[in-house]
Amino acid sequence: DIQMTQSPSSLSASVGDRVTITCQASQDISNYLNWYQQKPGKAPKLLIYDASNLETGVPSRFSGSGSGTDFTFTISSLQPEDIATYYCQQYDNLPPRLAFGQGTKLEIK
């Protein structure tokens, strides 16, 4: 099974800061990677799909990059409403399966 290693596990930053989260796959996953935001008591929300595509309606300060085994998620200018836990997720189609990173809890400094 493919393992996803996400770092850091927690992060404290100031409003306006640039924030970066990384995710590493245990083997080549091409661009089959999504990024989610989860706020307390809520379901995860898709932000980035296929490694670098912004989901409709998601602010442009969110972005993703990478392919193969190494991926990066960036918030260009942190806003107070961005406080949440972020997850990377790898997906396979044959057979269909998902694997999540451990999550990054983002807090305001």
84's tokens: 């949440």
Cβ nearer to another protein, comparing 63 with 85: 85
Please report, as a single letter, which amino acid is at residue 87.
Y
User: Least distance from C-beta 58 to another protein, angstroms?
Assistant: 12
Residues 39 and 101: their CA atoms lie apart, in Å, by: 16
Binding footprint of another protein on the chain (CB under 8 A): 1, 34, 36, 38, 43-46, 49, 55, 87, 89, 91, 95-103
Largest CA distance in the chain: 42
User: Least distance from C-beta 27 to another protein, angstroms?
Assistant: 17
User: Least distance from C-beta 16 to another protein, angstroms?
Assistant: 28
Helix (H, G, I), strand (E, B) or coil at 20: strand
